[in-house]
């Protein structure tokens, strides 16, 4: 397996929830590639997706650093792990949290549990890298869900983030996202210093997810 990551965030798209989430996970599992294919799914769908695609790496979209007890509505890391999650996103542009939240979460989860902290810009990426999550993913909010990849619209933020993160910690991987849809986008991300991509609509809204997934890993 290569070090390249392709993380597909299912968000709450109609085409990637419930039974559709299971179908998409099976499609991801079917792709022949050396890249790490990862599905970031709703907490509601976690157990079902893990059961539907047992060989696929499955992450949560968010977790909270809470203990057992009176925490109505919060997402406990231990429950996610028990239900099959091997990692999580945190601080996504659509679900921002504090640096303290990220730090506390990192202290609570096991060392082998992946945490990918999302950043809107180079400075936020630098601050998150200092906490040493497994990955930092830079995603300019204005490009998320758009038709133009961050690798084309703002390549400097990818290369700048890669350098900033490396300056802080040599152990933190770098992902980029926002508008990523093709194998050429993934290849460009790698050229700019990223070790993978975080995307959503390029797969979740595709008329042919399998074809889109194959294209994404075609140049790796």
Could you give the residue numbers annotated as active site?
92, 139
Q: What tokens does 9 get?
A: 């965030």
* Cα–Cα distance, 163 to 3 (Å, whole number): 18
The closest alpha carbon to 67, from 110, 25, 105, belongs to: 105
Could you please report the per-residue DSSP string of 52-71? H-TTSEEEES------SSS-
What is the CB neighbour count within 10 angstroms for residue 206? Answer: 17
CB 9 within 8 A of CB 61: yes
The closest alpha carbon to 199, from 214, 219, 213, belongs to: 213
- Helices 99-108, 122-129: axis angle to 10 degrees equals 30
Q: What tokens does 143 get?
A: 């490009």
Q: What tokens does 33 get?
A: 């590639």
């Amino acid at each position: 397996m290569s070090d390249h990551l392709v993380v597909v965030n299912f968000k709450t798209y109609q085409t990637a929830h419930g039974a559709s989430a299971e179908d998409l996970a099976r499609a991801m599992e079917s792709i022949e590639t050396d890249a790490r294919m990862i599905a970031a799914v709703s907490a509601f769908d976690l157990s079902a997706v893990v059961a539907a695609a047992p060989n696929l790496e499955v992450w949560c979209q968010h977790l909270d650093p809470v203990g057992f007890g009176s925490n109505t509505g919060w997402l406990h890391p231990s429950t996610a792990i028990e239900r099959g999650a091997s990692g999580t996103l945190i601080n996504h542009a659509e679900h921002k949290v504090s640096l303290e939240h990220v730090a506390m979460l990192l202290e609570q989860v096991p060392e082998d549990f992946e945490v990918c902290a999302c950043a809107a810009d180079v400075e936020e990426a630098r601050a998150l890298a200092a906490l040493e999550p497994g990955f930092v993913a830079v995603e300019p909010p204005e490009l998320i869900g758009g038709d133009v990849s961050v690798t084309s619209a703002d390549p400097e933020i990818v290369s700048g983030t890669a350098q900033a993160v490396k300056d802080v910690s040599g152990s933190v991987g770098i992902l980029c996202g926002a508008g990523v849809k093709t194998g050429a986008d993934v290849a460009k991300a790698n050229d700019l210093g990223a070790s993978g991509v975080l995307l959503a609509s390029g797969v979740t809204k595709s008329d042919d997810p399998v074809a889109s997934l194959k294209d994404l890993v075609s140049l790796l």
